[in-house]
Amino acid sequence: MKILYIVNMDENNKKGLFMATHEKIKAIMKNHPENEYKVISVQFKDTGIFRMAKKIAGKHTYDKTSDGFELDGIKYKKVYLSIDMKSKKAEKLENDKERFMEFFNTCKSDIEECDMVSCHWGYPHGRIAYWINREFKKPYIVTYHGSDVHTMPFENEHIKTKVLQIMENAKQNIFVSKKLMDTARELGYTGDNCTASRNGVNTKNFYIISDEEKNSIRERYHIKGKNIGFVGAVNKIKRADKFAKIFDSIKQIDPSNEYTFTVVGDGPLKSQVEKECNEKGLKAVFTGNQDVDMVRNLMNTMDVMILPSRREGFGCVITEANACGVPVVGSDAGGISEAIGIKENIIADGDEFEKRIAKRVVEVVNSENDKESLSKYTLENFSWDKIAEDEASFYGEGDIR
C-alpha cells in the first residue's frame, strides 16, 4: 500500500506538533515496512502586495525556505501555498479548491500514485485531503492535534464549516485526546468515524539524567532551591499572563523554601512575564527556546512542572516531563487530565485558579516523589510503537467516503 502523508512541519520549529507527527510517522514506517510512504509538508509564503503591506507594518512574514529536509532517514518534501489577496478570497468561498491548486499542480503524480492520504493537522491541511478525496477518489485519515479544533474553527465561521466537512467525509478522524474529540462534538461534528489516540514520548530523548548532569545544568542557569518549571509557548493560551501570580502564590504559601521558577520557551508574553516576576522579586530563569537535549536536561532539574493552559490538545510536555521523573500539575483543559492521570494534580478552571494550582504545587514539592517509578511507567505506557498502531490499523482499501 502507498501512503501519502500531508503534514504541517517546519524543520526550523521542532516543537510539540513537529515531534509528535514525526515520531508517529517514524514508528509506522518502522513497524510496517511492507508499505510505501511519501511525506509532504505544506507551508506558506507571503507574496505580492500582501507581503509588502506586512513588511511596511512591521509584521512577521512567511517566506519560502528550503524545498525539503530529512530527519531520521525520513525525507520531507515541502510545498508552499501563497498567501495573497487572491488566496484570502478563495479560502472563504464554499468551493475553495482553487486555494490549493499550487499543491495539486506540484503533487499530482504523488496523489495519483497513492492509495490513501494521512493528514496531520485539520485545517488547511485536512482540506487538501478533502479535495483529494473529491477529485481523485482517495480515502483519507486526519489526525487533529489541538488548536485546529479547539481554537481556529471557533474563531472563523468559514473554517468551522470546512473542518466539519473534512470530519464528516474522512475515512477516520483521530483526536489526540478524548477531550479534543468532545470539543469536535461541541463544534457540530456528529459522525462515528472517530477515535481518540494520545501522543507518545520518545524514549531516546526523554529520560532521567545523572545527578552530576543535573547539578551542572543547575549551576549553569543559577537554579537554586526548589525548581518549578514550565516548558512551551509563552502565550495567553498557556496562561502565561498568570505565571507571575502563580509563582508568587507558591512563595507566599511556602515561604520557608527557596524557589527558582524556570520558563523554557519563547512567545509574545515572555517580556511581560519577566517584568512581572522582577517586580514581585521572584527568582525566575527564562531560557528561551532550546533544542530537545537541553529541554530534557532542564526538565530533569525541575521538582514540579506546571501546565496551566486555557486550551490544549494533548500536552506532550507532560509525558516528556514524566519520562524524566518530574511530576506535573496542570489545568483541566483539553487532554491535560488524560496525560497527567493523577486526579489531585488536575486543577479545575474557575475562581482563584492561580492560588489553587500553587497550593497543589507546594503539596507535591513537599511530598515524596518516586522519580524512577514515574519514568518507568511513562516509558512503558506511552510508547510510540503502540500508539502508532492506532493509525496504522485504519490503513487498507476501506470505503471511499
Residue range 177-226, pLDDT digits in tens: 999 999 999 999 999 999 999 889 988 899 999 999 999 999 999 999 99
**From CA 322, how far away is CA 285, in angstroms rounded?**
21
What is the CATH number that goes with domain 2-200+384-392?
3.40.50.2000
The whole-number mean pLDDT for each consecutive block of 10 residues of the chain, a chain of 401 residues, reads 96 86 95 96 92 86 92 97 92 94 97 97 97 97 95 95 98 94 96 92 93 97 98 96 98 97 96 98 97 96 98 90 97 91 94 98 94 92 87 72 56
> How far apart, in whole angstroms, are the C-alpha atoms of residue 28 and residue 38?
12
Residues of the chain with CATH 3.40.50.2000: 2-200+384-392, 211-381
pLDDT score, position 121: 97
One of 3.30.70.20, 3.40.50.1220, 3.50.50.60, 3.40.50.2000 is the CATH number of 211-381, namely 3.40.50.2000
Residue 10: strand, helix, or coil = coil
Please check whether residue 163 is in contact with residue 188, taking contact to mean a CB–CB distance below 8 angstroms.
Answer: no
Secondary structure element (H or E) that encloses residue 140, with its range: strand 140-144
Q: What phi and psi values does residue 164 have, to the nearest 5 degrees?
A: -65, -40
Show the cell assigned to 236.
495567553
**Omega prior to 124 cis, within 30 of 0:** yes
The phi and psi torsions of 11 (rounded to 5 degrees) equal: -65, -15
Please tell me the distance from the alpha carbon of residue 200 to that of residue 160, in angstroms, as a whole number. Answer: 28
Helix (H) or strand (E) holding 141: strand 140-144
pLDDT for residue 123: 97
Which DSSP category does 240 fall into? G
The residue behind cell 507546594 is 362
Q: Are 339 and 309 in contact (CB under 8 A)?
A: no
